[in-house]
Structure 1
Amino acid sequence: MMIKQRSFLVGIMLGAMASGAIGVSAVAWAGAKDTSRSGFHVYPDGSGYGSGSLGAAWNSANSVERIGCHVDAVPDLDGELVVSGFCEVTDQTGASAMCVTRDERLIQLMLSVGPSTRVGFRWDPEGWCTSVGVSHESHYLPP
C-alpha cells in the first residue's frame, strides 16, 4: 500500500514538474523585455553617468546607438603590460561619452559584459570611471 501511494505521489510530482516546465518556457518567451535607450548625462563639473542594454542598442531602429566596455593590455615603454579599460555610450543622436580605468575591480566587471547585459557607469570630472555596474537578467534583449 505504501509503495503504491509513493508511486502515485511521484507520478503527480513529475506531471506537475513537466507541466511547470512547459509553463515556465511559455512565460520566458512572453516575459518582460527591456527596450530602453542607451543614454548618458553630464553634470556641470564634467562628471556623469551612462547606461543602457547591449541588446536594446543592437535592436534599436537607429544605426548609431551603442554601449559597451573594452579592456586592453598594452606594453608601456619598459615593456611591462598595462591593463586598462573603458566604457562608452552613444545615444540615438550620435552624442557619446566614456570613462577609463586601471582599477582591477572595475576591469573585472567590464570583462563580464555580454550580449544580454545592461551596463551602467559613472565618471569623475577628469573622465576616470568611478563605478561600473553590470546586470545579467532575462529581460535584457539579446542581439
Structure 2
Amino acid sequence: MDLMRIIALGVVLSSGLAVAGEKHDRFVYIDTQNRTAHAGMGSTRNSADFVQYIVCQVIANASGISGSCAARAAAGTYVTCQTTNQYMLEVIKSISDSSFVGFKWDENGGCTEVFVNHGSSYVPKL
C-alpha cells in the first residue's frame, strides 16, 4: 500500500501540474478619435506580426529633457506624442519590458497623459 502511494505521488509530481493566474495579451490598440493608444510591452513584442510596436523614450541634452511615446498597430496606424512634463517623464522612466503602457495626445501631438501599469497578469517578453 505504501508503495502505491509513493507511485501515485510520483505520477502527480511528474505530471506537470500547472497553476496559472490571470493573463492578458494586450496588443497595440489605437483610437484616433479619442486620441489614445495602449499595449502590453510583452504581448506586442511576442506578437506574430512584424508591424506593431509601442515605445516611449526619454532624451536629455544640454537644453533639457524631453520624452515621447509612439505606437503602430498591426493595421499600420501610427501615432506619437511628445512631452517635457516632469510627471510624465517619471512615468516613462518607470516602464519595463512587461509593463502595460498607454498614452493620450492633443491635436498638436503633445502628450496629455502617459500611464503605466505593472502587474503579474501582463505577459512578459519572451
Partner of 1:51: 38
Aligned pairs for 1:28-107 within 5 A: 30-43=20-33, 48-75=35-62, 81-107=63-89
Provide the C-alpha distance between the structure 1 equivalents of 2:22 and 2:74, rounded to a whole number of angstroms. 23
Partner of 1:129: 111
Q: Which amino acid aligns with 1:100?
A: Q
* TM-score normalised to structure 1 length: 0.71
1:112 matched to 2:116? The reply is: no
Shift of 1:139: 0.9
Q: Which amino acid aligns with 1:96?
A: Y
Count of matched residue positions in the alignment of Structure 1 and Structure 2? 108
Secondary structure of the 1:131 match is strand
Structure 1 runs, 4 residues or longer, greater than 4 Å off: none
Q: Which amino acid aligns with 2:49?
A: N
For the 8 Å contact 2:39–2:54, the answer to whether it is kept is yes
* TM-score normalised to structure 2 length: 0.80
Provide the C-alpha distance between the structure 2 equivalents of 1:88 and 1:139, rounded to a whole number of angstroms. 23
Which protein has the bigger helix share? 1
> Any gaps of 5 or more consecutive residues in structure 1?
1-25, 76-80
For the 8 Å contact 2:30–2:77, the answer to whether it is kept is no
Secondary structure of the 1:107 match is helix
For the 8 Å contact 1:39–1:51, the answer to whether it is kept is yes
> Any gaps of 5 or more consecutive residues in structure 2?
1-17
Provide the C-alpha distance between the structure 2 equivalents of 1:122 and 1:32, rounded to a whole number of angstroms. 27
Shift of 1:74: 2.1
Shift of 1:37: 1.6
Provide the C-alpha distance between the structure 2 equivalents of 1:66 and 1:51, rounded to a whole number of angstroms. 10
Larger Rg: 1
Provide the C-alpha distance between the structure 2 equivalents of 1:91 and 1:60, rounded to a whole number of angstroms. 11
Secondary structure of the 2:54 match is strand
